[in-house]
Structure 1
Amino acid sequence: MPKITYVDHAGTARTVEGDVGSTVMETAIRNNVPGIDAECGGACACATCHVYVDGEWAEVVGPAEPMEQDMLDFASDVRSTSRLSCQIRIKPELDGLTVTTPARQG
């Protein structure tokens, strides 16, 4: 199973295993990762699962689709590597992925 590292705004890292086919958000919820609220349950209808993808992983994860880009308008402190974790599907190539949650979400 691919390992995903979640870093909170204070720098605390938590590494958990994710199931291929699930999302980075679902994995965070199952593992009680703070800072990812996922109020819409993964429907891409809010921005409470906003994360920053680590720069070296941005190309592997890929860009946000238009609907996700629209939802990111509701997130705070959006950056070039911002993504909604509900839209990042875990695949074997993401083993080692690191994402950070924004301070306002923590």
Structure 2
Amino acid sequence: MNANAIRFRSGTLDSLRGLTLFSMIAYHLCWDLVYLRGLPWAWYNGFWAYIWQQSICCTFILLSGYCCQASRHPIRRGAISFFGGAAVSLATALVTPEEPIRFGVLTF
């Protein structure tokens, strides 16, 4: 990274991105335990787990929109994210055809 890029980075945004990423990893770990391992966890299917899920999604969307204005190549970065989402959709359609991810936060 050059000096200008480091100078203009926001520690708050980076921290929020990191915290949201950690939260998303924890959420998907719980999803794996419930749906792939069969853990009978009623809380995960309840209201507060839904709020957790939506807070992750909304935070990623807000951060993406806010950070897009600071990008020098927003179309390229958007295309990379979109095609990453398309790859996830394709992979889940092949691996779990009964529950494919048709539209996720990356595709959005």
TM-score higher than 0.5 here? no
Could you say which structure has the greater relative contact order, defined with CA pairs below 8 angstroms and 6 or more residues apart?
1
Rg (Cα) greater in structure: 2
Q: Would you tell me which structure has more strand in proportion to its own residues? A: 1
TM-score (norm 2): 0.24
